[in-house]
A and B are shown apart, each in its own frame.
Chain A
Amino acid sequence: MNWLLVIAGGLVGAPLRYLTDRAVQTRHDSVFPWGTFLVNMVGCLVLGLLTGAAAEGAASQRLQLLLGTGLCGALTTYSTFSYETLRLAEEGARLFAVANVGLSLVVGVGAAFAGTGLAHAIWG
C-alpha cells in the first residue's frame, strides 16, 4: 500500500513538472530556468505545509507518502537544477548560474519555512 501511494504521487508529480516547465519556457525567451525554479519552489511550499500539518497531527502517514514522498518528491528535482546551473556557467551566463543557485536556496528554504508556519497557524 505504501509503495502504491508513492507510485501514484510520482505518476502525477513528474508530468506536472514537465508540463509546468514547458508552459513557462514557451512563454518567455530568458535563458534563466524559470520552469524548474517554479516547480521546485511550489514543491518546497507544499511539502513544508504537509510537514507542518503532520506535526500538528492533521496529515496522516499515508497522505505524507502520497503528497510528500510521491508528489512533491517527483514534482521537484535536483538533477535538472544542477544540470541547468552548470549549463548556464558553461554558456558564459555565470551571473545567471549564481542567481539560480542563490534564488533556489533562499526562496526554497523560505517557502519551506512559510509552508510549515502556515500549517501551524491553520492546524496549531
Chain B
Amino acid sequence: MGSSRSDVVHEPIDPDTGPVPPARHSPWRGQGPVVGVVAVGGALGATARYGASLLWVTPPSAFPWTILLVNAVGCAIIGVFLVLITEMWTAHRLMRPFFGTGVLGGFTTFSAYAVDFTRLVQDGRIAIAFGYLLGTLVVAMTAVWAAMAATRRVLGVYGGGPGRRAAR
C-alpha cells in the first residue's frame, strides 16, 4: 500500500494536464489529436446541456434547477471517471481529454451559474439567488466527493484489492 500511495502524489490537481508534467520546451507538440477530441467532446457536452435546458425549462426568475442538476450530474460523473481512469485503468491517452475535458467540461458550466445568480439578484429574488449560488456549490462538491469515495470503495471491494486511496 505504501508503494501504491506514491503514485497518487504524482497525480496533479488539474485533471486536464495529465499525470506527466508538461515539457517546458515543447508544450504544444502532439496536441492536434488532443485538441480535436476535446472539441468533439465539448460539442457533445454543450449539446446535451442545451437539450436538458429545452426538456426542463426554468422560467427566468425561478430557481435554475436544470443547470444545477446538469452541474451536479457532471460533477458526479467526473468523480467516478477520474478515479477509474487514474487509479484503476490504463486508458487510451485521448480518453481523458475527450470525456473529462471535452464532454463533462462542455456539459457543466460556470458562466450560466454566475450570470443566472446576477439575473436573480437584479430581479430582486435575493433569497433564491443566494440559495442557488451556495446550493449548487454544496451539491456539486458533495457529488464529486461522494462519487469518488463510492468508486474507490467499489474498486476496493471488487477490484482484487483496496483502491489506492481507499486505504486511507
Contacts and interface: CB of A to CB of B under 8 A. Distances in A.
A11 B47 CA distance: 10
A103 to B, nearest CB: 12
A73 B116 CA distance: 13
Interface stretch (B87-95, B97-105, B153-161): B97-105
Contacts of A31: 12-13
B14 A84 contact: yes
Contacts of A76: 109-112
Nearest to B34: A18
A31 to B, nearest CB: 5
B166 interface: no
Contacts of B44: 10
Contacts, number: 217
Interface of B is mostly: helix
Contacts of B100: 79-80
B14 A47 contact: no
Contacts of B40: 11
Contacts of B53: 69
A82 B140 CA distance: 7
B79 A83 contact: yes
Interface of A: 2-3, 6-15, 17-19, 21-23, 25-26, 31, 33, 35-36, 40, 43-44, 46-48, 51, 65, 68-70, 72-88, 90-91, 93, 101, 104-105, 108-109, 111-113, 115-116
7 contacts: A3-B47, A18-B38, A26-B22, A35-B16, A74-B43, A79-B104, A83-B82
Given A3-B47, A78-B71, A79-B105, A15 B39 contact: yes
Contact of A109 (B47, B106, B118, B148): B118
Contacts of B63: none
B141 interface: yes
A76 to B, nearest CB: 4
